[in-house]
Amino acid sequence: MAEISGTNGRHVVVLDVKEDNPCNPLPPCNEPPPCPSRTKEDSILSISVPFIQKLIAEVVGTYFLIFAGCTSVAVNLNFDKVVTLPGISIVWGLAVMVLVYSVGHISGAHFNPAVTLAFATCRRFPWKQVPAYIACQVTGSTLAAGTIRLIFTGKQDHFTGTMPAGSDMQSFVVEFIITFYLMFVISGVATDNRAIGELAGLAVGATVLLNVMFAGAISGASMNPARSLGPAIVSRQYKGLWIYIVSPILGAQAGAWVYNMIRYTDKPLREITKSASFLKNTGRA
């Protein structure tokens, strides 16, 4: 039973449980304790369900991103350049924007292995989830490329992936710069509390649109290893594929770390270097 007593003007509740209290029966002596393995399984299940939802969001989001963007390329190639390069740029930018607003609150809307790796190296995404995220992104891209190839058959079957228009070094440098720019913007609008988070999708989509507009004719403006891998796997065209894997990853890493360096410009140097580790402070922010 419960007894209420006063101490120095405060009320203290003391719970006194009796064995004969019918409202609080004791478990029978022969009833086994809860199984530790069962409790562990329940805990794992409760953690894994949200993670599975994130993976599904990444597959679906990457699928529709690649389907929309690459279909615009296929239509442009098959119907007398009706979409044009500015049109393709708008399709990519709008697709990114609407998908960020659609599933960004579920999975973070990465859709890009380079972005996932950059977040992980900056301690803004758990490393243990990186392989699953990348696998889902490549899967979504491959499924989208396969769907496009089923739709456009025969003479309409064109390669919608990315290939260097000039030299490999030219495309490598361009991909590095535009992915740096993209990741720099993502870091600013999506990871900094001082930014207006509601405009993240608009800012990232506009950045993609801008990059495709001026770099599409040079390198294809991939900025995303999954975007290049999916069509390459389906069409079995791997020329220059290493550029679109290595360069975006390096560019995203550089963009994320450079933003982390300027994130703290409003603090004195002594506060930044406290604890003798700048990297430690960047991980906490």
Predicted pLDDT of residue 268: 64
CA-only gyration radius of the chain, Å: 26
pLDDT at 278: 44
Q: What is the pLDDT along the chain (285 residues), one digit of tens a residue?
A: 444 444 444 444 344 444 444 444 544 545 555 555 554 544 444 458 899 999 999 999 999 999 999 999 999 999 999 999 999 999 999 999 999 999 999 999 999 999 999 999 999 999 999 999 999 999 999 999 999 999 999 899 999 999 999 999 999 999 999 999 999 999 999 888 888 878 899 999 999 999 999 999 999 999 999 999 999 999 999 999 999 999 999 999 999 999 999 886 666 666 656 644 445 554 454
For position 13, what pLDDT does the model report?
A: 39
CA torsion through residues 211, 213, 217, 218, sign: negative
In the DSSP assignment, the letter for residue 275 is: G
Say what the pLDDT of residue 263 is: 80
Residue 193: the pLDDT is 82
Which region holds residue 246: left if phi is over 0, alpha if psi is between -120 and 50, else beta?
A: alpha
C-alpha–C-alpha distance, residues 98 and 208, integer Å: 13
pLDDT for 140: 98
Three-state secondary structure string covering 183-240? HHHHHHHHHCCCCCHHHHHHHHHHHHHHHHHHHHHHHCCCCCHHHHHHHHHHHCCCCC
In the block, residue with structure tokens 């900094």: 192
Residue 7's pLDDT is 42
Cβ proximity of 140 and 226 under 8 Å: yes
CA dist 37 and 67 (Å) reads 43
Q: What is the pLDDT of residue 18?
A: 44
Q: Closest Cα to residue 137, out of 110, 171, 164?
A: 110
31 three-state secondary structure: coil
The dihedral sign for the CA sequence 55, 66, 116, 198: negative
In the CATH hierarchy, which fold is given to the domain comprising 49-151+163-262? Glycerol uptake facilitator protein (1.20.1080)
The residue ranges of every structural domain in the chain are 49-151+163-262
Q: What is the DSSP string of 72-121?
A: HHHHHHHTTTSSHHHHHHHHHHHHHHHHHHHHHHHH-----HHHHHHHHH
